[in-house]
Amino acid sequence: MALQRSDVQRVALLARLEPTPDQIDRLATELAAIVEYVDSLAEVDTDGVEPLVHAIEQTNVLRPDVAVASLSRDAALANAPVHNGVGFRVPAVLGD
Amino acid sequence: MADSLAELTAVEQLRLLNAGQTTSVALTTACLDRIAATDQRVGAFLRTTPERALAQAADIDRRRAAGDAVGALGGVPVAVKDVLCDEGQLTTCASKMLADFRPPYDATVVERLKQADAVLVGRTNMDEFAMGGSTENSAFQKTRNPWDLERSPGGSSGGAAACVAAGQTALSIGTDTGGSIRQPAALCGVVGLKPTYGRVSRYGLVAFASSLDQVGPLGRTVSDVALLYDAIAGHDPHDTTSAKAAAEPTLPQVNEPLKGLRVGVVPEHFAAGLSESVRQAVERAIDSYRQAGAQIVEVALPHARHAVATYYVIAPCEASSNLARYDGVHYGRRTDPAAMHARLAAERKSAAEANDATAARQIDTALVRLYRQSRSEALGPEVQRRIMLGAYALSAGYYDAYYLKALKVRRLIRQDFDAAFEQVDVIAGPVTASPAFKLGELIDDPLAMYLVDLYTVSANLAGLPAISLPCGLSPDGLPIGLHLMAPPLKESRLLRAARMFEASRDPLPLPRLD
Amino acid sequence: MNDYQTIIGLEVHVQLATLSKLFCGCATTFGAEPNTQTCPVCLGLPGSLPVLNERAVQLAIETGVALNCTIPEFTKWDRKQYFYPDLPKGYQTSQFDLPITEHGWLEIAGETEGTAPKRVRITRAHLEEDAGKSLHDESAAGGDSVIDLNRAGTPLLEIVSEPDLRSSAEAKAYLNELKLLLTFLGVSDCNMQEGSLRVDANVNLHVPDSANPAKPAATPIVEIKNLNSFRAVERAIDYEAGRQWRHWQETGLRMGQAPKQTRGWDDSAEVTRAQREKEESADYRYFPCPDLAPVVITADEVTRVRVAMPELPAALRLRLQTEHGLSAYDADVIVGSGRELTEFYEQVAATGGDAKQAANWVTQHVTRVMNATGKLLSELQLPAESLGRMIAKIVAGELPSSRARDVFDLLLEQGVDVDKAMASLGIAAVDESELIAICRTLLAANPKIVADVQAGKQQAVGALIGQAKQKNPNADPGRVRAICLELIAAG
């Protein structure tokens, strides 16, 4: 199934990427080739087969409800590209 | 006798250390010297940390001299792929996104290496976020195959394999999501083990595809790999997918041959597409098992031919989610906000001048633009391609056809192995279709690059332990790998089977780098 | 006449009362300095992995059982993917298709006294992690936001009701009953000011359909957010119903003809306002979290929870009426005040030996003091034992009810026991013979009153009570009155 430019643009927004017009064309072609290849899975009969999410199938891996020491604020903010010593700075989350 | 202490095996280095015939400082210095002398050509290391390594080595020497306990790796230098968190040290995943990232915590594997008194000499190059099979997707540098500097070392753990092949360190840590330890090990003529999924903690391993990623050791011998594996394996409460079963040490038994070994062979592995040199080398290896008394049994893995397609749905889906956190807000690289705001203002102005309300509405908010621009600038093309692929496959209307379907085929692949291992103890075959390819040869053809994983991805999908070890040289003098797979948690069996073959032949020489 | 019916479903998020977060060991204490309760896991740092908090699972099961839900044997974790600065991983770990509990109900009182209770169906209640929040930043230029991740990763239970509610009053009753239940269970403190209980309301109308008189038409659903109190929920629903009715009359748009809209409640202007449409329609790309193992909950475990379940509000109300003989109103006031007051009441009644007197003291005096002082029951110096013993003294006739209020005040002020309080107030039961003597003296001195009583004006004896209290302040007015009447009758 061919991927349209509009598919690439829709997915790019979902994934918060910003391909240039050239990149959109190239991605449409490349992704179409990969999608065509993985479309071969359709021929496998999987009726009644349970999906395998985890390569190791364990259940109920839990920890006790115990509070432990957190990072210092300086350590928490140390890798932030922009911070004010208190929190992570970002452009306003509401409005433009 | 090797020219440098660095070129000895880890087991030999450890023997000299314990016998007082060398020191960790001497060994570490030898490794750092060897790296300094060769890495301009090889490019295995993104950076070394000589001060820290020598301080660590001196501390271990002091403790050993004082008769205090030292860990199992007691002063042996180890290189670590730049994808495992090391507290306070750069951990970049070979991505511009994390060029300045210093985690405030240790990965469990790094913590165990420190506890075992491994000397951490530096961080090796890789494909960005471990996505790739040639190490050419590193944002920072090329790594070259020590056997032929025009060729790729493979990937994504290309630096990890090249540094061991080049005799820079005896041991290194890699990670394997679809073959990323075994394929470079094969192409560089070293031994690389991908343990059972869950055997080695993923805590602190920067995730690519969580249900497939596994950390593992590389070395020049099976024993060295067993030594390093023993130091890092075992249950970790910080990783919910960590196997609860105890990891018994493998090194003490590694030299014991397996009696009555049944070696499985999959006919499809030798079908069209396999190069003649690899086919011959692998068939000779299987023949040597036969000569050692093993029984060779044909087994069928009927769904194996769908493994690459399955992998290239599951891995990108998980990756698109795992890499959503790189958005330039809490850590990582952020686009220049002034330029970004200026561009947005210009877009709004032109939409207003054209009186185009639709265009005006479609302009991103500053926040959305910050995300998009930061991510597009700081993530490389292959990473973006896989994020796009995963986001597409998980988007509304496609989930059942791709992701859910792939998970079901994944179970069929696993069931094939379960059935096969009823009949055999290990499965043997090629690691790659051909020896090392030229740098640049596959980089413009993503699908061809994905097919490089043909023989290795099944082990990741099924969560099996698998190893690559050298089984010969091609007519051009390039290494060829033998692939062995075993049932889950049977690392000891796998390593012993590998050692049986290794013991039957002369070791590969170190490649000449001068 | 507004000929429509309002259809309401509520989504309630409650923070579970755990000590640590859902997937890491960071504390969940409210009010800590920003970004001081984070770690690699809840910061979403590369390489970090979640480990599920068993207490959160336990609290979710308890809530599910209390809400009459089924607890499926298998539950799992999914990633809900979207980008927002308070969501550091770019996804929220939640539950999509296999929630930990589903298909339950909660009963609320009928709209008027005497009508049958109403069952509100619960669609599901699932576990998920909370996001961080934006802070106001005075220092920031250009209207930047500042993000605090202390709250990120706090365990939430999202309780989704079916659209069974038909009025804002029912919505409020449902919320009150749900909050009461959750606080009785101790699964959440449900403090709305601190954000540990949050409500979103889905509202639409059923309107007469001229095309098909037999079946009403439905208007498009609107989700109302930013509801900061139960009162805001009520007002927002009422406002929204009116707005939708006008909108229906103007446009005639039905469900499916317009997308589901999200509107925010503006508490000061008392209106809902359309919120900015997202850039793309929500496509959360849910998929099972590969980092978390599923959870299997056996029938035995559910039975254990069921057996250990405390008595819940509905059952308690009933028992206070049948066993204690309280009115429905009193039972509701006591139980509705919460588990602490209900347990307090039960102790007072047990010690005092008179359930109705206990109910009066608790609902009138104790709650009055709590309201007046703004204190919690536990902050008052009033052990249930003390109040109970005070009531026992009244019942035994040792404490005249006229003086009980003074004793009660002293118990509260000084935290002394009842005997000490009575002693310091000089209260002692007056001997019957002494009372008779006092009455004889008074009757002898007041022949006019005696004559009035004999003439049938029994209330005339009241004038003697004050005089009796002057002679002995402990004289019980009831006894004085009774003795006087007896003596007069005896001639």
CB contacts < 8 A (B, C): 103
Local structure of A16: helix, strand or coil: coil
Residue C124 distance to chain B (closest CA, Å): 23
- Please report residues of B whose CB lies closer than 8 A to that of C49: 202-203, 238-240
Q: Which helix (H) or strand (E) holds C126?
A: strand C118-129
Q: Kindly report the average pLDDT of chain C as a whole number.
A: 91
Mean pLDDT score, C65-78: 98
Q: Which of A65, A73, A86, A93 to mutate to test the interface with C (most CBs of C within 10 A)?
A: A65
Q: Which of C42, C146, C298 to mutate to test the interface with A (most CBs of A within 10 A)?
A: C146
pLDDT for C279 equals 45
By the CB < 8 Å criterion, does B235 face chain A? no
pLDDT for B14 equals 97
CB contact (8 A) between residue A95 and residue B100:
no
Query: Any residues with CB less than 8 A from the CB of B430 and at least 6 apart, and which?
Result: B269, B270, B274, B278, B279, B282, B455, B480, B481, B482, B483
CB contact (8 A) between residue A86 and residue C147:
no
Q: Which residues of chain B have pLDDT under 70?
A: 1-3, 514
Residue C247 distance to chain A (closest CA, Å): 26
CB contact (8 A) between residue C51 and residue A61:
yes
* C458 pLDDT higher than 90: no
User: For B128, phi and psi rounded to 5 degrees?
Assistant: -50, 125
- Please report residues of A whose CB lies closer than 8 A to that of C50: none
Helix, strand, coil abundance in chain C, percent, nearest 5:
40, 20, 40
- Cα separation, C189 vs C16, whole angstroms: 8
Which tokens in the block code for residue C303?
């039975």
Q: In this complex, which of A16, A56, A88 lies closest to B198 when CB atoms are compared?
A: A56
CA distances from B48 to B74, B79, B111, C373 (A): 20, 9, 18, 67
Query: Any residues with CB less than 8 A from the CB of C97 and at least 6 apart, and which?
Result: C78, C286
pLDDT tens sequence across B228-285? 999 999 999 999 999 999 999 999 999 999 999 999 999 999 988 899 999 999 999 9
- List all chains that touch chain B, counting a touch as 3 or more CB pairs closer than 8 Å: A, C
CATH of domain C432-489: 1.10.10
pLDDT tens sequence across C128-148? 999 999 986 555 556 788 999
- Please report residues of B whose CB lies closer than 8 A to that of C85: 329, 367
CB contact (8 A) between residue A81 and residue B407:
no
pLDDT for B309 equals 96
Find, among C156, C150, C147, C124, the residue nearest to C22 by Cα.
C156
Q: Can you tell me which residue has the tokens 């066993």?
A: C323
| Extents of the domains making up chain C | 5-300, 311-424, 432-489
Q: In this complex, which of A71, A84, A86 lies closest to C38 when CB atoms are compared?
A: A71
- For residue C53, the chain B residue with the least C-alpha distance is B240
CB contact (8 A) between residue A71 and residue C39:
yes
- For residue B396, the chain C residue with the least C-alpha distance is C283
Q: Which of A5, A7, A16 to mutate to test the interface with B (most CBs of B within 10 A)?
A: A16
Beginning with the edge strand found earlier in the chain, give each strand of the sheet holding C145-148 in spatial order.
Answer: A88-90, C145-148, C133-135
CB contact (8 A) between residue C45 and residue B367:
no
Which B-chain residues 368-427 have CB contacts (< 8 A) with chain A?
368-373, 375-376, 379, 384-385, 387-389, 391-392, 395, 401-402, 404-412, 414
CA angle B272, B276, B281 (to 5 degrees): 120
- Cα separation, B385 vs B380, whole angstroms: 9
Q: In this complex, which of B330, B371, B399 lies closest to C83 when CB atoms are compared?
A: B371
- Cα separation, B258 vs B428, whole angstroms: 15
CB contact (8 A) between residue C40 and residue B84:
no
pLDDT for C211 equals 82
Name the packing angle between helices C384-395 and C401-414 (round to 10°).
160
Could you say which DSSP state residue B293 is in?
T
Q: Are the C-beta atoms of residues C53 and C127 closer than 8 Å to each other? A: no
CATH 3.90.1300.10 applies to domain B5-254: yes
Q: In this complex, which of B331, B392, B408 lies closest to A31 when CB atoms are compared?
A: B392
Q: Which of B177, B330, B405 to mutate to test the interface with C (most CBs of C within 10 A)?
A: B330
Q: Are the C-beta atoms of residues B112 and B231 closer than 8 Å to each other? A: yes
* A93 pLDDT higher than 80: no
- For residue A63, the chain C residue with the least C-alpha distance is C53
Longest dimension (CA), chain A: 57
Find, among B211, B240, B191, the residue nearest to B508 by Cα.
B191
Find, among B299, B503, B304, the residue nearest to B410 by Cα.
B304
Q: In this complex, which of A18, A71, A79 lies closest to B102 when CB atoms are compared?
A: A79
Q: In this complex, which of B105, B241, B394 lies closest to C287 when CB atoms are compared?
A: B394
By the CB < 8 Å criterion, does A46 face chain C? no
C467: left (phi over 0), alpha (psi -120 to 50) or beta: alpha
- Please report residues of B whose CB lies closer than 8 A to that of A86: none
Q: Which helix (H) or strand (E) holds C12?
A: strand C5-15
Which C-chain residues 254-293 have CB contacts (< 8 A) with chain A?
276, 279-280, 283, 285, 288, 290, 292-293
Could you say which DSSP state residue B505 is in?
S
Q: What percent of chain C has pLDDT over 70?
A: 97
Local structure of C198: helix, strand or coil: strand
Active-site amino acid positions of B: 81, 156, 180
- Cα separation, B262 vs B259, whole angstroms: 9
CB contact (8 A) between residue C145 and residue A60:
no
DSSP E strands, B88-225:
119-124, 171-176, 191-194, 214-219
pLDDT tens sequence across C147-172? 999 999 999 999 999 999 999 999 99
Find, among B97, A95, A78, B346, the residue nearest to C144 by Cα.
A95
By the CB < 8 Å criterion, does C28 face chain A? yes
Q: Can you tell me which residue has the tokens 């660590």?
A: B56
Residue C136 distance to chain B (closest CA, Å): 17
pLDDT tens sequence across C380-404? 889 999 999 999 988 888 888 878 8
CA distances from A39 to B388, B393, B415 (A): 16, 11, 22
Residue A28 distance to chain B (closest CA, Å): 10
- Cα separation, C170 vs C106, whole angstroms: 12
Q: In this complex, which of B237, B239, B331 lies closest to C45 when CB atoms are compared?
A: B331
Q: In this complex, which of B205, B317, B399 lies closest to C47 when CB atoms are compared?
A: B205
- For residue C288, the chain A residue with the least C-alpha distance is A53
Q: In this complex, which of A41, A63, A90 lies closest to B406 when CB atoms are compared?
A: A41
Which B-chain residues 459-488 have CB contacts (< 8 A) with chain A?
460-463, 488
* β-strand pairing of C295-296 with C74-75: antiparallel
Q: Are the C-beta atoms of residues C351 and C392 closer than 8 Å to each other? A: yes
Mean pLDDT score, C450-458: 87
Q: Which CATH number fits domain A5-42: 3.40.50, 3.90.1170, 1.20.1070, 1.10.20?
A: 1.10.20
Enumerate the β-bridge partners of residue C262: C223
User: For C439, phi and psi rounded to 5 degrees?
Assistant: -65, -45
Q: Are the C-beta atoms of residues C22 and C13 closer than 8 Å to each other? A: no
CB contact (8 A) between residue C26 and residue A70:
yes
- CA torsion angle A9 B383 B412 B484 (round to 10): 160
pLDDT for A2 equals 66
* C1 pLDDT higher than 50: no
pLDDT for B3 equals 64
Helix, strand, coil abundance in chain B, percent, nearest 5:
45, 15, 40
- For residue B362, the chain C residue with the least C-alpha distance is C279
CB contact (8 A) between residue C293 and residue A58:
yes
Q: Within a 10 A sphere around the Cβ of C326, how many other Cβ atoms? A: 25
| Extents of the domains making up chain A | 5-42
* β-strand pairing of C145-148 with C197-207: unpaired
CB contact (8 A) between residue B240 and residue C287:
no
By the CB < 8 Å criterion, does C33 face chain A? yes
ipTM of the complex: 0.96
pLDDT tens sequence across C186-216? 999 999 999 999 999 999 999 988 888 888 9
| Extents of the domains making up chain B | 5-254, 327-378
CB contacts < 8 A (A, C): 129
Residue B514, CA atoms < 13 Å, CB-side half-sphere: 2
CB contacts < 8 A (A, B): 175
